[in-house]
Amino acid sequence: MNNPPSIPPADSEHAFGHDTSRRTAFKAVGATLGAAAFAKALAPLTEWAPTLSVDEFLQKHYKELRPEEMAQIIRRLEDETRQRYGADVRIEDIKPSDDVQFAYALNLSICIGCRKCAEACHKENNHDRASQQSYIRVLEMQKGSIDLEKGNAHYDHPVPQKDKFYMPVQCQQCDRPPCVSVCPVEATWKEKDGIVVVDYNWCIGCRYCEAACPYHARRFNWSAPKISATEVNPVQAYLSNRIRPQGVMEKCTFCLHRTRQGRLPACLEACPTGARVFGNLLDPESEIRWVLENKRVFVLKEDVGTRPRFYYFFDE
Amino acid sequence: MLLAAALVAGVVGGAAPESGTLSPHAAPGAVGTSVPGSERVPAGASPATDRARFAVRIRQPVVPPRVDTGRKDAHGQVVTVACGTCHATSTPRRETRSAAELDEFHQGLQYAHGTLTCLSCHDAANYDQLRLADGRGLPFAETMSLCAQCHGPQFRDYSRGSHGGMTGYWDLSRGPRERNHCVDCHDPHAPRYPQVQPAFPLPPDRGLVAPPEPHHE
């Protein structure tokens, strides 16, 4: 496991580093005015948004953070979670591996539509309890049709029904993700193992990505999630299931806090029928490779050119 | 034989192994091939198999099964007997297809498994084991081989990890995996997966309902 690096004393010289981003410029101004004046100048900010700390406002983009800065941020987030939720959590910044390319496949012949996956996602990813948020939406589809627009996500009767099949839809981790290209602030991007992630602290909540996604896979946090301390999943990662702040986008991350440690995603473990297949495309012996090589797989909305990493198939 | 190895490994694995209690197996590839029906080439076939691998354990039904006599002993414990206890003295009836045809014993046993007779799978020569289609006996612990006789495509998919629930690690170099047995989901006497009430009803779609009013101070 990755131990968080030790946290060095705060230094000021890095504030005048090579880049001239908005936030470092802000810092430079602050240093000129003097720390006290700077804090005074930012005081209205804390009044305007009581949950947003000055540190958070000044936080750099994920990709620009040095390890010690990340360690500091994680410590801050863990403290905030303790204060706001009463839960002791461990947040890690887990990096992708060079020799892993994730992909997912789902066997529509044996999915029974029980929605256990959606429920597991809800719990694993620290979703707001009251709104029953989940990254997975299970569509009840008429046999013989593959029209997603006609799928019903609100069915409430015993499953499976004879004339229906069930299609769970979540982030397809596209290789050409429209959600990434529309983001005006580069708060979302595709990692080298194939997972599309969001820096929740950089997202401005414009919801362009939500509109751009052809799979309706992105969610907006209308309010900060409400979860009781005992229900908070304490195993968290910065880019995945840490509790999101209000006003930012969120999405399925293939449970990277689990899968980048070698574990199966929560939705797969919850599946009682084994409809879900997950693994590393670079391993020729993997289950996912066998499925892609031996089943007639298809992707959703292939014509829109998003190149999903999420495949569907039927047995017959 | 692979199946037998897997089942033995499963029994050795215990009832609920923690990831830390199973040590990585030294022989590369050997355990990776323990999923029944796997035709994987062992060590050296890929970089992944060069590393130590954790076990894939298949959940085991309690075998051999025992039949509830409907009686309790002096301590209030349910009295169960081995199949052979009664069947040692009774004459096998080859044509029996369900418990409904019996005057006594096995009453209420739901049966819905094609046109099979009891003795299609149960061994009249030894009721404490099963019987393969070619007449050979088969221990209850190897039930999966019996199922696979007719359900080849399902067995193939199971062997390749695309049928049947599992938990644990996708990366066997980092931890073990546990897989369901056929009979975890399919009652051998009535194998159709039962209908269930779906969990977790969704709230109305975002976008279709008005967002909450913003609270500006």
User: Above 90 in pLDDT, residue B202?
Assistant: no
Query: Please, which pLDDT band fits residue A196 given cuts at 50, 70 and 90?
Result: very high
pLDDT at A32 over 60: yes
Which residues, in sequence order, are bridge partners of residue A196? A190
Would you say B170 and A279 are in contact if contact means Cβ atoms under 8 Å apart? yes
Q: Is the pLDDT of residue B119 over 50?
A: yes
φ/ψ (deg, to 5) at A55: -60, -40
Inter-chain contacts counted by CB atoms under 8 A, chains A and B: 128
Looking at the predicted structure, is the pLDDT value of residue A133 above 50?
Answer: yes
Report the distance separating Cα B126 and Cα B88, nearest Å: 8
Sorted by sequence, the CB contacts under 8 Å of residue B183 that are 6+ apart come out as B61, B143
Note whether B142 and B3 are within 8 A (CB): yes
Concatenated DSSP letters of A51-117: T--HHHHHPPPGGG--HHHHHHHHHHHHHHHHHHH----EEE-PPPPTT--EEEEEETTT-----HH
Which residue type sits at B43? Answer: A
Whether residue B64 has a cis bond before it, omega within 30° of 0: yes
What pTM did the predictor assign? Answer: 0.79
Structure tokens of B55?
Answer: 């076990």
* B12-16 average pLDDT score: 36
Distance, in Å, from the CA atom of A153 to the CA atom of A204, rounded to the nearest integer, reads: 29
In the block, tokens 């919801």 appear at: A207
**pLDDT for position A62:** 96
The enclosing H or E element of A182 equals helix A178-182
Residues A49-102: tens digit of each pLDDT: 555 677 777 889 999 999 999 999 999 999 999 999 999 999 999 999 999 999
Least confident of A14-23, A151-160, A259-268, B90-99: A14-23
- Tens of pLDDT, residue by residue over B137-164, are 999 999 999 999 999 999 999 999 999 9
pLDDT band at B26 (very low <50, low <70, confident <90, very high): very low
* pLDDT greater than 90 at residue B126: yes
Residue carrying structure tokens 């066998």: A290
Distance from CA of A15 to the nearest CA of B (A): 33
Predicted confidence at residue B6, as pLDDT, reads 41
Question: Hey, is A242 helix, strand or coil?
Answer: coil
Query: What residue ranges in chain A does DSSP mark as E strands?
Result: 90-92, 102-107, 137-142, 164-169, 188-190, 196-198, 219-220, 235-237, 249-250, 276-280, 310-313
Task: Please state, rounded to an integer, the average pLDDT across all residues of chain A.
Answer: 89
Q: Which of B176, B184, B108 is nearest to B147 (CA)?
A: B184
Find residue A198's DSSP bridge partners. A188
Using CA atoms, how far apart are residues B105 and B90, in angstroms rounded to an integer? 12
Q: Do A122 and B200 touch (CB under 8 A)?
A: yes
Q: Which residue has the tokens 């540190």?
A: A55
Highest averaged pLDDT of the listed ranges A45-49, A187-191, B68-72: A187-191
Which residues does chain B have within 8 Å of residue A294's beta carbon, measured at their own beta carbons? Answer: 160
pLDDT at position A275 is 97
Count Cβ atoms within 10 A of the Cβ of residue B116 and give its class: 0-12 exposed, 13-18 middle, 19 or more buried.
middle
Which one has a higher pLDDT value, A145 or A4? A145
**What tens digit of pLDDT does each residue of A267-299 get?**
999 999 999 999 999 999 999 999 999 999 999
Give the angle subtended at the CA of A112 by the CAs of A107 and A114, to the nearest 5°: 120
Q: What is the pLDDT of residue A46?
A: 57
pLDDT at residue A6 is higher than 60:
no
Phi/psi of residue A37, each to 5°? Answer: -65, -35
pLDDT per residue as tens digits for the range B66-112: 888 888 999 999 999 999 888 988 888 888 988 888 888 888 888 99
Contact B125, B137 (CB under 8 A): yes
CA–CA min distance B216, chain A (Å): 9
Q: How confident is the model at residue B37 (pLDDT cuts 50, 70, 90)?
A: very low
Check CB contact of B49 with chain A, cutoff 8 Å.
Answer: yes
Q: Answer whether B195 sits within 8 Å of A155, measured CB to CB.
A: no
Contact criterion met (CB below 8 Å) for B89 and B100: no
Query: What is the model's pLDDT at position A28?
Result: 64
Rounded CA separation A49/A206 (Å): 17
Q: What's the whole-number mean pLDDT along residues B62-68?
A: 86
What band does A26 get if pLDDT is binned at 50, 70 and 90? Answer: low
Could you tell me if B43 lies within 8 Å of chain A, comparing CB atoms?
no
Q: Which domains does chain A have, with CATH numbers?
A: 13-86 (no CATH), 95-316 (3.30.70.20)
Structure tokens at A296: 């007639």
d(CA B103, CA B94): 16
- The 3-state secondary structure of A217-240 reads CCEECCCCCCCCHHHCCCEEECCC
Q: How far is CA A160 from CA A110, B4, B158, B197, in A?
A: 10, 34, 21, 9
Q: Is the pLDDT of residue B18 over 50?
A: no
Sequential DSSP letters for B78-105: EEEEEHHHHHTTSPP-TT--SGGG-SSS
Share above pLDDT 90 across residues of chain B, in percent, rounded to a whole number: 49
Most confident by average pLDDT, A154-158, A239-243, B61-65: A239-243
At B33 the pLDDT is 35
Nearest-angstrom CA–CA distance, B216 and B138: 73
d(CA A311, CA A297) in angstroms, rounded, equals 6
Q: Pick the residue from chain B with its C-alpha nearest to A276.
A: B162
| B205 contacts in chain A (CB < 8 Å) | 153
Query: pLDDT at position A225, please?
Result: 93
* pLDDT surpasses 50 at B42: no
DSSP B53: B
Minimal C-alpha gap between B165 and chain A (Å): 4
Q: Please say if the pLDDT value at position A125 is more than 90.
A: yes
Q: What is the pLDDT of residue B11?
A: 36
**B167 close to A (CB below 8 A):** yes
Contact A314, A297 (CB under 8 A): no
pLDDT attached to residue B143: 95
Task: Calculate the average pLDDT of chain B.
Answer: 77
**Which of A143-152, B3-12, B175-184 shows the lowest mean pLDDT across its residues?**
B3-12
Assess B38–A contact: CB distance below 8 Å, yes or no.
no
pLDDT of residue A149: 86
For position B204, what pLDDT does the model report? 65
Residue A56, φ and ψ in degrees, nearest 5: -70, -40
User: Residue B34: is its pLDDT beyond 70?
Assistant: no
pLDDT of residue A38: 67
Of B46, B175, B198, the CB nearest to A113: B198
3-state secondary structure of A49: coil
Residue type, A172: Q
